[in-house]
Amino acid sequence: MFAIKQAMRVAAVGALLLLVTAATAATAGAARQVPPRFLGMFWGDGIEAAPQPTQDAAWNLMSRAGVETARLVFNWSLAQPEADGPIDFTALDRVVARAARTRIELVPIVMYAPRWARIADTVAAPPKDPQTYADFVAALVRRYGPRGSFWREHRELPYVPLRYWQIWNEPHLPYQWTVPDRREFRRYAFPNGYVALLRAASAAVHGADRSARVVLAGLTNDSWNQLSALYDAGVRGLFDVGAVQTYTGKPANVVRALRLFRAVMRRHGDGRKGLWATEVGWPAAKGRARVPRYAREVVTDDRGVVKRLLVVHRLLVRAVRDRRIGVRRVYWYSWITRYRDRQNIFDYTGLLAWNGRRRFVRKPAFRAYVAVARALAGCARRSDGSCVPLPRPRRPNVSR
Protein backbone atom coordinates (compact mmCIF):
# COMPACT_ATOMS: atom_id res chain seq x y z
CA MET A 1 0.00 0.00 0.00
CA PHE A 2 2.84 2.40 0.87
CA ALA A 3 4.50 1.72 -2.49
CA ILE A 4 1.21 2.38 -4.31
CA LYS A 5 0.75 5.70 -2.50
CA GLN A 6 4.33 6.72 -3.29
CA ALA A 7 3.82 5.88 -6.96
CA MET A 8 0.63 7.92 -7.02
CA ARG A 9 2.47 10.91 -5.51
CA VAL A 10 5.27 10.65 -8.07
CA ALA A 11 2.75 10.40 -10.90
CA ALA A 12 0.86 13.46 -9.63
CA VAL A 13 4.04 15.55 -9.44
CA GLY A 14 5.02 14.36 -12.90
CA ALA A 15 1.66 15.42 -14.29
CA LEU A 16 2.07 18.90 -12.83
CA LEU A 17 5.54 19.22 -14.32
CA LEU A 18 4.24 18.13 -17.71
CA LEU A 19 1.83 21.05 -17.50
CA VAL A 20 4.74 23.38 -16.74
CA THR A 21 6.71 22.03 -19.69
CA ALA A 22 3.72 22.49 -21.97
CA ALA A 23 3.25 26.06 -20.74
CA THR A 24 6.93 26.81 -21.39
CA ALA A 25 6.74 25.38 -24.90
CA ALA A 26 3.64 27.44 -25.62
CA THR A 27 5.48 30.65 -24.73
CA ALA A 28 8.83 29.72 -26.27
CA GLY A 29 10.20 32.54 -28.35
CA ALA A 30 7.66 34.94 -26.87
CA ALA A 31 8.48 38.34 -25.41
CA ARG A 32 9.23 38.84 -21.74
CA GLN A 33 6.05 38.85 -19.66
CA VAL A 34 7.29 40.48 -16.45
CA PRO A 35 9.31 43.55 -15.38
CA PRO A 36 13.13 43.44 -15.27
CA ARG A 37 14.52 41.57 -12.26
CA PHE A 38 11.08 40.22 -11.41
CA LEU A 39 12.45 36.75 -10.62
CA GLY A 40 14.08 36.86 -7.20
CA MET A 41 15.39 34.36 -4.65
CA PHE A 42 16.43 34.32 -1.00
CA TRP A 43 20.01 33.23 -0.40
CA GLY A 44 20.96 31.97 3.05
CA ASP A 45 19.81 29.30 5.51
CA GLY A 46 23.37 28.07 6.07
CA ILE A 47 24.71 27.84 2.52
CA GLU A 48 26.46 31.19 2.99
CA ALA A 49 28.87 29.40 5.37
CA ALA A 50 29.70 26.59 2.93
CA PRO A 51 33.17 26.20 1.37
CA GLN A 52 33.85 28.68 -1.41
CA PRO A 53 33.66 26.15 -4.30
CA THR A 54 30.27 25.00 -3.02
CA GLN A 55 28.97 28.54 -2.96
CA ASP A 56 30.34 29.19 -6.44
CA ALA A 57 28.47 26.15 -7.75
CA ALA A 58 25.26 27.19 -5.98
CA TRP A 59 25.37 30.72 -7.44
CA ASN A 60 26.07 29.42 -10.95
CA LEU A 61 23.14 27.04 -10.71
CA MET A 62 20.92 29.79 -9.31
CA SER A 63 21.66 31.93 -12.36
CA ARG A 64 20.97 29.04 -14.74
CA ALA A 65 17.66 28.48 -12.98
CA GLY A 66 16.56 31.95 -14.10
CA VAL A 67 17.12 33.96 -10.92
CA GLU A 68 17.74 37.64 -11.67
CA THR A 69 17.99 39.15 -8.19
CA ALA A 70 18.86 37.74 -4.78
CA ARG A 71 17.92 38.90 -1.32
CA LEU A 72 20.30 38.05 1.51
CA VAL A 73 21.46 39.21 4.95
CA PHE A 74 24.42 41.55 5.34
CA ASN A 75 25.22 40.77 8.97
CA TRP A 76 26.55 43.81 10.82
CA SER A 77 27.54 41.77 13.89
CA LEU A 78 29.90 39.63 11.81
CA ALA A 79 31.37 42.50 9.81
CA GLN A 80 32.14 44.80 12.76
CA PRO A 81 32.29 42.80 16.01
CA GLU A 82 34.40 45.36 17.91
CA ALA A 83 33.23 48.82 18.97
CA ASP A 84 34.80 51.48 16.75
CA GLY A 85 36.71 48.70 15.01
CA PRO A 86 37.26 48.49 11.26
CA ILE A 87 34.64 46.84 9.07
CA ASP A 88 35.75 43.49 7.68
CA PHE A 89 34.36 43.35 4.14
CA THR A 90 35.96 39.99 3.28
CA ALA A 91 32.85 37.79 3.37
CA LEU A 92 30.66 40.47 1.80
CA ASP A 93 33.19 41.05 -0.98
CA ARG A 94 32.99 37.38 -1.89
CA VAL A 95 29.22 37.28 -2.19
CA VAL A 96 29.13 40.56 -4.14
CA ALA A 97 31.75 39.14 -6.52
CA ARG A 98 29.72 35.96 -7.06
CA ALA A 99 26.61 37.98 -7.75
CA ALA A 100 28.52 40.16 -10.21
CA ARG A 101 29.92 37.16 -12.10
CA THR A 102 26.43 35.74 -12.50
CA ARG A 103 24.91 39.22 -13.00
CA ILE A 104 22.38 38.62 -10.25
CA GLU A 105 21.38 41.89 -8.61
CA LEU A 106 21.78 41.84 -4.83
CA VAL A 107 19.32 43.32 -2.34
CA PRO A 108 20.99 43.24 1.09
CA ILE A 109 18.92 42.95 4.27
CA VAL A 110 21.11 44.92 6.68
CA MET A 111 20.49 43.64 10.20
CA TYR A 112 21.83 42.07 13.42
CA ALA A 113 23.62 44.66 15.51
CA PRO A 114 26.91 43.66 17.15
CA ARG A 115 26.85 43.06 20.90
CA TRP A 116 28.55 46.40 21.57
CA ALA A 117 25.89 48.30 19.61
CA ARG A 118 22.59 46.67 20.65
CA ILE A 119 20.27 47.36 23.55
CA ALA A 120 20.36 43.83 24.98
CA ASP A 121 22.39 40.66 24.78
CA THR A 122 20.08 38.92 22.31
CA VAL A 123 20.95 38.43 18.65
CA ALA A 124 18.02 40.38 17.20
CA ALA A 125 17.98 43.26 19.68
CA PRO A 126 17.94 46.64 17.86
CA PRO A 127 20.82 49.12 18.04
CA LYS A 128 21.05 51.47 21.02
CA ASP A 129 21.84 54.37 18.72
CA PRO A 130 20.27 54.31 15.23
CA GLN A 131 23.15 56.43 13.96
CA THR A 132 25.69 53.65 14.53
CA TYR A 133 23.57 51.41 12.29
CA ALA A 134 23.23 54.23 9.75
CA ASP A 135 27.00 54.68 9.69
CA PHE A 136 27.43 50.99 8.87
CA VAL A 137 24.84 51.17 6.09
CA ALA A 138 26.56 54.24 4.63
CA ALA A 139 29.86 52.36 4.64
CA LEU A 140 28.20 49.53 2.69
CA VAL A 141 26.86 51.96 0.10
CA ARG A 142 30.29 53.57 -0.28
CA ARG A 143 31.77 50.11 -0.76
CA TYR A 144 29.23 48.48 -3.10
CA GLY A 145 27.15 51.31 -4.56
CA PRO A 146 27.64 52.80 -8.05
CA ARG A 147 30.77 54.70 -7.02
CA GLY A 148 31.91 52.07 -4.56
CA SER A 149 35.52 51.27 -3.80
CA PHE A 150 34.81 47.59 -4.46
CA TRP A 151 34.26 48.22 -8.16
CA ARG A 152 37.44 50.29 -8.48
CA GLU A 153 39.40 47.46 -6.87
CA HIS A 154 37.79 44.72 -9.00
CA ARG A 155 37.66 46.00 -12.56
CA GLU A 156 37.87 42.39 -13.79
CA LEU A 157 34.28 41.82 -12.61
CA PRO A 158 31.09 42.81 -14.42
CA TYR A 159 29.85 46.10 -13.00
CA VAL A 160 26.68 45.28 -11.05
CA PRO A 161 26.46 47.93 -8.29
CA LEU A 162 24.04 47.60 -5.40
CA ARG A 163 21.21 50.12 -5.59
CA TYR A 164 18.58 48.75 -3.19
CA TRP A 165 19.05 48.46 0.57
CA GLN A 166 16.52 46.74 2.82
CA ILE A 167 16.47 48.04 6.37
CA TRP A 168 16.01 45.05 8.70
CA ASN A 169 13.47 42.22 8.43
CA GLU A 170 10.08 41.72 10.13
CA PRO A 171 10.66 44.19 12.98
CA HIS A 172 7.08 43.70 14.19
CA LEU A 173 7.96 40.13 15.25
CA PRO A 174 9.71 39.84 18.65
CA TYR A 175 12.21 37.23 17.50
CA GLN A 176 13.39 39.56 14.71
CA TRP A 177 13.29 42.79 16.78
CA THR A 178 13.83 41.81 20.41
CA VAL A 179 13.10 44.57 22.92
CA PRO A 180 13.11 43.82 26.69
CA ASP A 181 9.78 44.45 28.39
CA ARG A 182 11.05 47.25 30.62
CA ARG A 183 10.22 50.95 30.74
CA GLU A 184 13.69 52.15 29.75
CA PHE A 185 13.42 50.25 26.47
CA ARG A 186 9.92 51.33 25.39
CA ARG A 187 11.22 53.85 22.86
CA TYR A 188 12.85 51.00 20.93
CA ALA A 189 9.64 48.99 20.55
CA PHE A 190 7.88 48.62 17.19
CA PRO A 191 6.71 50.76 15.45
CA ASN A 192 8.45 53.85 16.88
CA GLY A 193 11.80 52.19 17.39
CA TYR A 194 11.91 50.89 13.85
CA VAL A 195 10.86 54.25 12.38
CA ALA A 196 13.74 55.92 14.25
CA LEU A 197 16.17 53.37 12.77
CA LEU A 198 14.71 53.77 9.29
CA ARG A 199 14.91 57.56 9.48
CA ALA A 200 18.65 57.46 10.24
CA ALA A 201 19.32 54.70 7.67
CA SER A 202 17.34 56.38 4.90
CA ALA A 203 19.29 59.61 5.32
CA ALA A 204 22.56 57.66 5.27
CA VAL A 205 21.68 55.69 2.11
CA HIS A 206 20.55 58.70 0.13
CA GLY A 207 23.44 60.76 1.45
CA ALA A 208 25.92 58.21 0.11
CA ASP A 209 24.08 57.56 -3.17
CA ARG A 210 21.30 59.81 -4.41
CA SER A 211 20.13 57.16 -6.88
CA ALA A 212 19.84 54.43 -4.23
CA ARG A 213 16.49 53.10 -3.07
CA VAL A 214 15.49 52.19 0.49
CA VAL A 215 13.38 49.05 0.87
CA LEU A 216 11.10 48.85 3.88
CA ALA A 217 11.60 45.85 6.15
CA GLY A 218 9.56 42.87 4.98
CA LEU A 219 6.26 42.76 6.88
CA THR A 220 4.41 39.48 7.33
CA ASN A 221 1.13 38.11 8.75
CA ASP A 222 -1.32 41.08 8.78
CA SER A 223 1.31 43.18 7.00
CA TRP A 224 -1.17 45.90 6.01
CA ASN A 225 -2.04 46.57 9.67
CA GLN A 226 1.64 46.69 10.58
CA LEU A 227 2.17 49.19 7.76
CA SER A 228 -0.67 51.35 9.10
CA ALA A 229 1.06 51.38 12.49
CA LEU A 230 4.28 52.50 10.81
CA TYR A 231 2.51 55.35 9.04
CA ASP A 232 1.00 56.46 12.35
CA ALA A 233 4.55 56.51 13.73
CA GLY A 234 5.81 58.71 10.88
CA VAL A 235 7.23 56.35 8.25
CA ARG A 236 6.00 58.36 5.27
CA GLY A 237 8.88 59.67 3.19
CA LEU A 238 11.41 57.26 4.67
CA PHE A 239 11.24 54.40 2.14
CA ASP A 240 11.03 53.90 -1.63
CA VAL A 241 9.79 50.30 -1.86
CA GLY A 242 7.26 48.47 0.28
CA ALA A 243 7.83 44.78 1.11
CA VAL A 244 5.31 42.03 1.87
CA GLN A 245 6.10 38.50 3.14
CA THR A 246 3.00 36.30 3.28
CA TYR A 247 2.94 32.67 4.36
CA THR A 248 -0.46 31.15 3.79
CA GLY A 249 -2.06 27.95 2.61
CA LYS A 250 -3.71 29.62 -0.38
CA PRO A 251 -1.69 31.34 -3.13
CA ALA A 252 -4.58 33.75 -3.67
CA ASN A 253 -3.98 35.14 -0.17
CA VAL A 254 -0.50 36.29 -1.23
CA VAL A 255 -2.12 38.56 -3.81
CA ARG A 256 -4.81 39.63 -1.33
CA ALA A 257 -2.14 40.73 1.15
CA LEU A 258 -0.36 42.73 -1.56
CA ARG A 259 -3.64 44.41 -2.51
CA LEU A 260 -4.41 45.37 1.10
CA PHE A 261 -0.84 46.60 1.58
CA ARG A 262 -1.01 48.75 -1.55
CA ALA A 263 -4.33 50.20 -0.38
CA VAL A 264 -2.66 51.43 2.83
CA MET A 265 0.21 52.92 0.81
CA ARG A 266 -2.28 54.68 -1.43
CA ARG A 267 -4.21 56.15 1.50
CA HIS A 268 -1.00 57.76 2.71
CA GLY A 269 0.07 59.17 -0.63
CA ASP A 270 2.53 56.41 -1.53
CA GLY A 271 0.45 54.67 -4.18
CA ARG A 272 3.13 55.09 -6.86
CA LYS A 273 6.02 53.69 -4.85
CA GLY A 274 7.43 50.27 -5.56
CA LEU A 275 5.95 47.13 -4.05
CA TRP A 276 7.71 43.77 -3.81
CA ALA A 277 6.78 40.34 -2.52
CA THR A 278 10.05 39.76 -0.66
CA GLU A 279 9.25 36.25 0.57
CA VAL A 280 6.91 33.74 -1.05
CA GLY A 281 7.13 30.03 -0.44
CA TRP A 282 5.82 26.87 1.21
CA PRO A 283 7.63 24.33 3.42
CA ALA A 284 7.55 20.77 2.10
CA ALA A 285 7.73 19.61 5.71
CA LYS A 286 4.68 17.33 5.77
CA GLY A 287 5.79 13.94 7.10
CA ARG A 288 9.33 15.28 7.60
CA ALA A 289 9.13 17.63 10.58
CA ARG A 290 7.00 18.38 13.60
CA VAL A 291 4.42 20.93 12.46
CA PRO A 292 3.14 23.46 15.02
CA ARG A 293 -0.62 23.88 15.11
CA TYR A 294 -0.44 27.45 13.79
CA ALA A 295 1.57 26.34 10.74
CA ARG A 296 -0.56 23.42 9.58
CA GLU A 297 -2.23 25.48 6.85
CA VAL A 298 1.12 26.49 5.39
CA VAL A 299 2.93 23.15 5.43
CA THR A 300 2.57 20.82 2.45
CA ASP A 301 4.55 18.15 0.59
CA ASP A 302 6.68 18.21 -2.57
CA ARG A 303 3.64 17.95 -4.83
CA GLY A 304 1.88 20.73 -2.94
CA VAL A 305 4.88 23.06 -3.32
CA VAL A 306 4.92 22.50 -7.09
CA LYS A 307 1.21 23.20 -7.37
CA ARG A 308 1.39 26.37 -5.26
CA LEU A 309 4.50 27.62 -7.07
CA LEU A 310 2.72 27.39 -10.41
CA VAL A 311 -0.47 29.02 -9.16
CA VAL A 312 1.15 31.86 -7.23
CA HIS A 313 3.36 32.90 -10.15
CA ARG A 314 0.37 32.93 -12.47
CA LEU A 315 -1.50 35.15 -10.00
CA LEU A 316 1.48 37.43 -9.41
CA VAL A 317 1.96 38.00 -13.13
CA ARG A 318 -1.61 39.27 -13.18
CA ALA A 319 -0.83 41.40 -10.12
CA VAL A 320 1.91 43.16 -12.11
CA ARG A 321 -0.75 44.58 -14.42
CA ASP A 322 -3.40 45.14 -11.75
CA ARG A 323 -3.37 48.86 -10.88
CA ARG A 324 -4.60 48.04 -7.38
CA ILE A 325 -1.37 46.11 -6.74
CA GLY A 326 1.41 46.75 -9.25
CA VAL A 327 3.91 44.30 -7.74
CA ARG A 328 7.33 44.55 -9.43
CA ARG A 329 9.39 41.71 -7.92
CA VAL A 330 8.88 38.31 -6.30
CA TYR A 331 11.50 36.62 -4.12
CA TRP A 332 11.02 32.89 -3.61
CA TYR A 333 11.91 31.50 -0.20
CA SER A 334 14.25 29.68 -0.32
CA TRP A 335 16.98 28.66 -2.76
CA ILE A 336 18.61 25.89 -0.74
CA THR A 337 18.02 24.30 2.68
CA ARG A 338 19.19 21.14 4.48
CA TYR A 339 15.94 19.13 4.60
CA ARG A 340 16.85 17.49 7.90
CA ASP A 341 15.79 19.62 10.92
CA ARG A 342 12.67 17.99 12.33
CA GLN A 343 12.03 21.00 14.58
CA ASN A 344 12.09 23.66 11.85
CA ILE A 345 9.52 23.53 9.05
CA PHE A 346 11.39 26.22 7.10
CA ASP A 347 14.32 23.85 6.69
CA TYR A 348 12.14 22.26 3.98
CA THR A 349 11.54 25.32 1.78
CA GLY A 350 14.54 25.05 -0.55
CA LEU A 351 14.26 24.35 -4.23
CA LEU A 352 17.45 22.40 -3.57
CA ALA A 353 18.39 20.14 -0.67
CA TRP A 354 21.99 20.43 0.52
CA ASN A 355 23.81 17.67 2.34
CA GLY A 356 26.47 19.93 3.86
CA ARG A 357 29.03 19.14 1.17
CA ARG A 358 28.98 20.05 -2.52
CA ARG A 359 26.10 17.85 -3.55
CA PHE A 360 22.71 19.46 -4.24
CA VAL A 361 19.52 17.47 -4.66
CA ARG A 362 17.02 19.12 -7.01
CA LYS A 363 13.54 18.99 -5.54
CA PRO A 364 10.44 18.71 -7.77
CA ALA A 365 9.80 22.44 -7.28
CA PHE A 366 13.22 23.23 -8.80
CA ARG A 367 12.19 22.00 -12.22
CA ALA A 368 8.88 23.85 -11.93
CA TYR A 369 10.67 27.10 -11.03
CA VAL A 370 13.08 26.81 -13.97
CA ALA A 371 10.19 26.26 -16.38
CA VAL A 372 8.23 29.21 -14.96
CA ALA A 373 11.29 31.49 -15.03
CA ARG A 374 12.01 30.67 -18.67
CA ALA A 375 8.41 31.17 -19.67
CA LEU A 376 8.20 34.56 -17.94
CA ALA A 377 11.60 35.82 -19.11
CA GLY A 378 11.21 34.43 -22.62
CA CYS A 379 14.72 33.00 -22.53
CA ALA A 380 17.03 30.51 -20.83
CA ARG A 381 19.56 32.15 -18.54
CA ARG A 382 23.21 31.07 -18.36
CA SER A 383 25.56 31.09 -15.37
CA ASP A 384 27.14 34.36 -16.58
CA GLY A 385 23.74 36.08 -16.64
CA SER A 386 23.34 36.10 -20.40
CA CYS A 387 19.96 35.02 -21.69
CA VAL A 388 19.46 32.75 -24.70
CA PRO A 389 16.13 33.06 -26.53
CA LEU A 390 14.06 29.91 -26.41
CA PRO A 391 13.55 28.15 -29.73
CA ARG A 392 10.13 28.55 -31.21
CA PRO A 393 8.05 25.38 -31.35
CA ARG A 394 8.36 23.60 -34.67
CA ARG A 395 5.31 23.61 -36.83
CA PRO A 396 4.23 20.13 -37.90
CA ASN A 397 5.15 19.27 -41.48
CA VAL A 398 1.83 18.13 -42.86
CA SER A 399 2.09 16.80 -46.38
CA ARG A 400 -0.85 17.34 -48.68
DSSP-derived letter for residue 356 is: S
Confirm whether 312 is domain-assigned: yes
383 has pLDDT over 90: yes
Spatial contact of 362 and 302, defined as CB atoms under 8 Å apart: no
**pLDDT tier, 395 (very low <50, low <70, confident <90, very high otherwise):** low
203-238 per-position pLDDT tens digit: 999 999 999 999 999 999 999 999 999 999 999 999
Answer whether 85's CB lies under 8 Å from 76's CB: no
Residue 374, in any domain of the structure: yes
Is 393 a domain residue?
no
Neighbours of 240 (CB within 10 A): 18
Judge whether 293 lies within some domain: yes
266: containing domain: 30-383
Q: What is the predicted pLDDT for the residue at 390? A: 86
Q: Which residues pair with 220 in a beta bridge?
A: 245
pLDDT for 393 equals: 59
Average confidence (pLDDT) over 373-387: 96
Looking at the predicted structure, is the pLDDT value of residue 28 above 70? no
pLDDT tens readout for residues 91-118: 999 999 999 999 999 999 999 999 999 9
| Average pLDDT in the chain | 92
- Other beta carbons within 10 Å of 54: 17
**Mean pLDDT of the region 159-168:** 98
Check residue 394 and give its pLDDT: 59
CATH, residue 274: 3.20.20.80
Q: Which amino acid is at 69?
A: T
Instruction: Please report whether residue 389 resides in a domain.
Output: no
Alpha-carbon distance of 317 to 212, in angstroms, equals: 26
Position 15 in a domain: no
Judge contact between 213 and 253, C-beta under 8 A. Answer: no
The tens digit of pLDDT for each residue in 39-79 reads 999 999 999 989 999 999 999 999 999 999 999 999 999 99
Number of folded domains in the chain? 1
Query: What does the pLDDT look like over 240-290, one tens digit per residue?
Result: 999 999 999 999 999 999 999 999 999 999 999 999 999 999 999 999 999
Q: What's the Cα-to-Cα distance from 251 to each of 248, 292, 310, rounded to whole Å?
A: 7, 20, 9
pLDDT exceeds 70 at position 370: yes
pLDDT at 357: 72
Q: What is the pLDDT of residue 262?
A: 98
Mean pLDDT, residues 283-303 taken together: 96
The verdict on residue 107 lying in a domain is yes
For residue 70, being part of any structural domain is answered with: yes
Compute the C-alpha angle 223/229/234, nearest 5°. Answer: 125
